[in-house]
Chain A
Amino acid sequence: MTKTGKLKIQWGHLVLLAIIAGWILAYLLDARATSMRVSNLLLVQPVAILALILVLVLVPQCFVREQPNDNTLAANNQDTPPAKETPLELAKIGILTAAFVALAFLMERIGFDVSVFAFLVLGLYICGERNWIANLAFSAIFTVALIYGYGAIIPFPFPLAVL
C-alpha cells in the first residue's frame, strides 16, 4: 500500500461529476431565485446541498494511483475504469451516440421516415453489418413497420417527409 505508482486522472469521470454538479448548482440557484419561501425550498435546498457535498467527496476518486505491481488490488479496486475498449470501439460508441442524439433532436423536423431510415442504415453499419443489401432492406422494412405499427395505435400522427 505504498504511495508509489503514477497518478492517473479519469477525465471522463471528472466530466461526469462536473455535469452533475453543474446542473445541481444551477438548479439550486434557479430555485432560490424563484422564491426563498419554505414551500419552495423545503426539499430542493437540503437535497441539493447534500448532493454537492457528495460530489466533493467523490472528486478525489477521479485521481487513481496506478499500482502496476499489485494486480489483485487493481482487480478489486472499484475505481479502475470498468471499460477497457480499444480506441476504435470507443469511437463506434461515440458515433452511434452522436447519431442517436441527432436523430432525437431532428426527427420531428426532418420527418420520422427519412431520419429513422438513415439512422438505421448508419447504426447497422457501425454495429457491424457489412452486407448493404441486407442493411438497406432491413432498415426500410423496419422503418415502415414501425411507422404504421405505432401510427395505428397512438392518438396522434407522426411527422413524415415521404411516406
Chain B
Amino acid sequence: MTIKYNRRSLLKLTGGTLAAASVASPSILFAQDSYPSRPINVVVPFDTGGYNDRLARAFAPFLSQRLGQPLNIINRGGAGALLGHSYFLQQPDDGYTLLCTSAAPFLPLNVLTQNAPFAVTDFHMMNLPSRDYTMMATSTESGITSIEDVINQLKADPRSLTIGIQPASADLVNLMLLADTVGISRDELRLVTYDGGGPARNAVAGNVVDIALVGGQGFLPLADKIVPLLIFDDAPRDNWGSAIVTEVAPGADFVLGSQRGWGVHASLVEGSPEIYQTILSAVEETSKAPEVIEALSSAQLATDWFGPEVSNRSLLATAAVMEQHLSILQGS
C-alpha cells in the first residue's frame, strides 16, 4: 500500500506541478527500474465493442506477454475520438500509455474540423495494420450492376440516385473527388446522411438508398445482399471483384479509409528512444507471431506489419489530401 501511495503522489507531483512541459521527468523518476516496471495503459478513444476496442482487447494479452506487464484497456469514447485523443496526449509520455485508434480519418478530422488542441504529428503511429477503403455498393435488388451505370445515370441527372453516406468522412471526400473527375455536378447530388457506417450499409443492403459509399470491410457480412461497384484503392481488396478507382477515373485523387492500429506520443520517440524501441520491438514481434496472426485473423482483426515509417507516411498523406479538400469535410 505504501509503495502505491508514494508512486501515485509522485505522479501527481510530476503531472500537476511540473505540467506537461517537463516531458522526461517520469522516466527519470523510474530510471532505477528498467522499463516496464508497472502495468501499461492502452487508451482506446472509442466505446467498448467497436473495432479498435476489439483489436486492443484481442492484441493486448499477447503484447502483455512480450512486455512482461499487464495491459489495461481504457475506453475514452466520444466526439469522434477527439476526447480520447486529447486524453491520451495529456498522459505522461513515459511509455506507460499506449494508443489504439483509427488514426485516419479521426486524427486529421479532429485537427481540421474540430479545433483539436493538438497536431497530427503529436502522435507517432508504430503500426497501422488495419487499412480500410471506401467502397461504393448497391443492393442486389436495385438493378444497378456496374459503376458505369452509376456514372452514366448521375451524369444525365445528378439527382437520379440517392446516395447513403456519412457527413465529414473520407467516403464523402472520395465521392466528391470522383464526381469532379468524371464530370458530375457535386452540388446537386442527393446525399442521404447517416450517423455511422453500419446504418448506411444496412440502408443500401435493404435498398432504402440506391447506392452507398462506406468503409468496405464492414460490408463483408452483408456480401450476398449487395453488389460491390467501386473500391477506392489502387489494387483490388478482399476479393470483391469490383472495379477500382484508379481504372475507372485515372488521375482522380482519393483517400484511404480508416487506418487503425498502435501509437505512442511523438515526444516519446525523441525523449526516451530506448523505451520507444522496447515497445516498438514488442509490437513488431507480437504482430508477426503466428499464434497472434491466427487468433486475430479468426476474429477478423488485422495484424499485418507495416512498421512506423509506412504507417506514419500513409497517415500524413491522408491528412494532406483531407486538408486540401477541407471544404467538403466542413459542409456548407
Contacts and interface: CB of A to CB of B under 8 A. Distances in A.
Which among A39, A155, A157 has the highest number of chain B CB atoms within 10 Å?
A155
Contacts of A156: 74-76
A136 interface: no
Contacts of A157: 41, 72, 74
B8 A155 contact: no
Contacts of A39: 193
Interface residues of B, number: 13
Interface in A99-116: none
Which range contains the number of A residues in contact with the other chain? Answer: under 10
Interface string A126-163: 00000000000000000000000000000111001110
Interface string B248-286: 000000000000000000000000000000000000000
B162 interface: no
A161 B13 CA distance: 11
A160 B74 contact: no
A34 to B, nearest CB: 10
Contacts of B163: none
B146 interface: no
Contacts of B74: 155-157
A35 B331 CA distance: 10
Contacts of B331: 35
Contacts of B73: 155
B242 interface: no
B140 interface: no
B229 to A, nearest CB: 26
Nearest to B5: A162
A106 to B, nearest CB: 15
A160 B8 contact: yes
B153 interface: no
A155 B72 CA distance: 8
B215 to A, nearest CB: 23
Interface in B29-88: 41, 48, 72-76
Nearest to A162: B5
A157 B75 CA distance: 10
Nearest to B4: A163
Contacts of B5: 162
A160 B72 CA distance: 17
Interface string B12-31: 10000000000000000000
Interface in A27-49: 35, 39
Closest 4 pairs between A and B when the two form their complex, measured CB to CB: A156-B74, A155-B75, A155-B73, A155-B74
17 contacts: A35-B331, A35-B332, A39-B193, A155-B48, A155-B72, A155-B73, A155-B74, A155-B75, A156-B74, A156-B75, A156-B76, A157-B41, A157-B72, A157-B74, A160-B8, A161-B12, A162-B5
Interface of A: 35, 39, 155-157, 160-162
Given A39-B193, A156-B74, 15 more contacts: A35-B331, A35-B332, A155-B48, A155-B72, A155-B73, A155-B74, A155-B75, A156-B75, A156-B76, A157-B41, A157-B72, A157-B74, A160-B8, A161-B12, A162-B5
